[in-house]
Structure 1
Amino acid sequence: MYNIWSIKIAIIMIICNLLSVMIGRYAIAVRGLGPSIPLLGLEGLGLPELLATTSMGHVIGAGVILGLKSMQYL
C-alpha cells in the first residue's frame, strides 16, 4: 500500500538538496569558517555550510514528498 522508496522520491530529494545548496551558496553571509570542500569549484563552501544546506534540503524534500503523497501525485 505505501510506497516506501522509489526513483521518483529519490529524484525529488536530490533536486531539493541541489536547490538548497545553490540557494545557500549565495544566501549564507559568513562563509568559509570551516574546512573548505573543493567541490565543483565552490570555493568558500565549507563543511559546515554543506551540512547546513543539505540538512535544509532534506527538510524541504520531506515536505515536498509528503505534500505530493497527500495530493496523490506519488
Structure 2
Amino acid sequence: MLTLFAATFPEAPSSALFNWQGTPLIIGSCLLVLFIASRTIKYPQVGARMPLPFSKSLFNNISVAGFLASMSFGHVIGFLLTLAIANTGLK
C-alpha cells in the first residue's frame, strides 16, 4: 500500500497547505446561501431560533437547524468555487 502511495505522489505538492485567498469566497457564499435559504425554507421559524441580533430582520428569524444547514451548504459551494477559480488560474 505504501509503495502504491509513493508511486502516485513522487513529489510533495509545491503549494502551501492553506492560504487566505479563498476565505472571502467561502464567507460570501455562506452568507448568500443563508440569505436565500431563510426566504425559501417553508417553515424557517420551526425549532430553536438563532440568538443573533440581526437574524430577525435580515435572515427571517431562521432556526438553528436551518442556520447550520445553510452554513454547511455554503461551505461546500464556497469550496467548489475556490477550487474552480484556482484551477482556471485566476488566483
Q: What is the TM-score with the length of structure 2 in the denominator? A: 0.71
Structure number with larger C-alpha Rg: 2
Deviation per CA, 1:10-54: give whole Å up to 9, x if none: 111111111111111111111122211132332331100001100
Structure 2: distance between partners of 1:15 and 1:5 = 18
The structure carrying a bigger helix percent of its residues is: 1
Structure 1 runs (4+) greater than 4 angstroms displaced: none
State the Cα RMSD in Å.
1.4
Alignment length (residue pairs):
74
Percent identity (aligned): 23
Q: What is the TM-score with the length of structure 1 in the denominator? A: 0.85
Structure 2: distance between partners of 1:24 and 1:7 = 26
Q: Which amino acid aligns with 1:24?
A: A
Moved more, 3-12 or 28-37: 3-12
Unaligned runs of at least 5 residues, structure 2: 1-13
The residue correspondences of 1:1-74 to structure 2 (distance < 5 A) are 1-43=14-56, 44-74=61-91
Q: Which amino acid aligns with 1:36?
A: R
Unaligned runs of at least 5 residues, structure 1: none
**Which SS does the other structure have where 1:8 is aligned?**
coil
Q: Which amino acid aligns with 2:86?
A: K
